[in-house]
Amino acid sequence: MGTIYAIANQKGGVGKTTTAVNVAACVAEAGYPTLLVDIDAQANATVALGVDKTTEPSVYDVLRGDVEAAAAVVGTDIEGLSLLPANPDLAAATVELAREDGSETRLRDALEPLRDRFRFLLLDCPPSLGPLTINALAAADRVIVPVQTEYFALEGLAGLLDTLKLIQRRLNPRLAIAGMLLTMHDSRTRLSNDVEREVRQHFPDLVFDTVIPRNVRISEAPSYGVPVIHHDPHSSGSSAYFDLAKEMVARG
Ligand code: ADP
Ligand code: MG
């Protein structure tokens, strides 16, 4: 049975997509059949894996119930890594899902048949706590919360944790926090080190040991349509995402 991870934080630009794409590539490279599900209408994860964002069918058609999830899954250049692509049409799903009662479990139901085909299923969430993120949290076993190592890092995290508790109570009792992940860390700056200390103090036991450094190779990789481990396997970004994959697998 595959484990479903949602990569969520209602803040934009904190490293959700970067983490989803790169950790998915690392676990696939380690030999685990993996599916990345892009549920952001910006389709950044889709493009970062070299897939056209007008690909159809997409996760939008799956959420509408028009096609089975298996029929929308495409392969990628990374062995063992498949993608359920997003498409800009997905913006409409936010409105459509909000209108329908009981639509919170659409994604969970759609992914159920894929659970025995993949060991890891990673869901790249949009930057909001809207219906798509709620669908992801209702489907997930675990949530990874990327936190940008910046001033205001803690802002919004309390609200996110409240939402997680509500989802656990109402929709998905098995949802657990895999961890908060510090991203874009710059060990040369005092700010990064202060923020890391503060987040670890505030959320003891909840923060991954692995910290993702700010690394230009990580930010370049999407423009080549490949994860950082293919763009520059020897970069600090590659080794950090490998470490995270190891930690994720070890934490079970
Ligand atoms: P989100 O999905 O949360 O909106 P992204 O993953 O798209 O955030 O990251 C926002 C921006 O920061 C992107 O341009 C991305 O390339 C860049 N970025 C993310 N992580 C790193 C990193 N560790 N080092 C350098 N740039 C990064
Ligand atoms: Mg994103």
The per-residue pLDDT string of the chain (252 residues; one tens digit each, 9 = 90 and over) reads: 899 999 999 999 999 999 999 999 999 999 999 999 999 999 999 999 999 999 999 999 999 999 999 999 999 999 999 999 999 999 999 889 888 888 999 999 999 999 999 999 999 999 999 999 999 999 999 999 999 999 888 888 988 999 999 999 999 999 999 999 999 999 999 999 999 999 999 999 999 999 999 999 999 999 999 999 999 999 999 999 999 999 999 987
3-state secondary structure of 174: coil
pTM of the model: 0.98
- Cα of 196 vs centre of ligand 2, distance in Å, is 22
81 within 8 A of 52, measured Cβ to Cβ: no
pLDDT of 70-90, one tens digit each?
999 999 999 999 999 999 999
| Three state DSSP letters for 14-73 | CCHHHHHHHHHHHHHHCCCCEEEEECCCCCHHHHHCCCCCCCCCCHHHHHHCCCCHHHHC
- Picking from 46, 77, 22, the residue whose alpha carbon sits closest to that of residue 244 is 22
Phi, psi of 175 (to 5 degrees): -60, 125
Residue with CA at minimum distance from ligand 1 atom 20 = 15
pLDDT of 176-219, one tens digit each?
999 999 999 999 999 999 999 999 999 999 999 999 999 999 99
- Residues, beta carbon < 5 Å, ion ligand 2: 16-17, 44
Residue with CA at minimum distance from ligand 1 atom 11 = 13
Question: Ligand 1: does its nearest atom lie under 6 Å from the Cβ of 12?
Answer: yes
Residue 199's CB is within 10 A of a number of other CB atoms, namely 18
Question: Ligand 1: does its nearest atom lie under 6 Å from the Cβ of 183?
Answer: yes
Cross-strand pairs, 83:
36, 74
> CA 29 to CA 79: how far, in whole Å?
7
> CA 252 to CA 65: how far, in whole Å?
31
In order of their start, the domains of the chain are 3-251 (3.40.50.300)
